[in-house]
Amino acid sequence: MNKTTIMAAILATATFTSGAMAGSLADPVVEPIVIIDEATSSSSGTALVVALAILFTLPALD
């Protein structure tokens, strides 16, 4: 084998066998995601209650 092939094999072995260390062991600092949900008003809730009240009182009227 020539010298270049041997050096390439040694370099590849040293690169792939060493432990990977990226950054430090400290906890990462992550900004929290803020989600703002705007409330929407709807009159369907009141209409539904009234409709159900009428529906349930109809059998009692007979």
- Write the pLDDT tens digit of every residue in 36-55: 877 776 555 788 888 888 99
pLDDT on residue 49? 85
pLDDT on residue 37? 79
Tokens in use for 36?
């703002």
Instruction: Give the span between the Cα atoms of 50 and 29, in whole angstroms.
Output: 52
Average pLDDT over residues 54-61: 86
**What is the model's pTM?**
0.30
Average pLDDT over residues 15-26: 68
DSSP structural state of residue 30: -
Residue 31 has pLDDT above 80, yes or no: yes
* Three-state secondary-structure class, residue 12: helix
Instruction: Give the span between the Cα atoms of 49 and 55, in whole angstroms.
Output: 10
Residues 6+ apart with CB under 8 A from 16: none
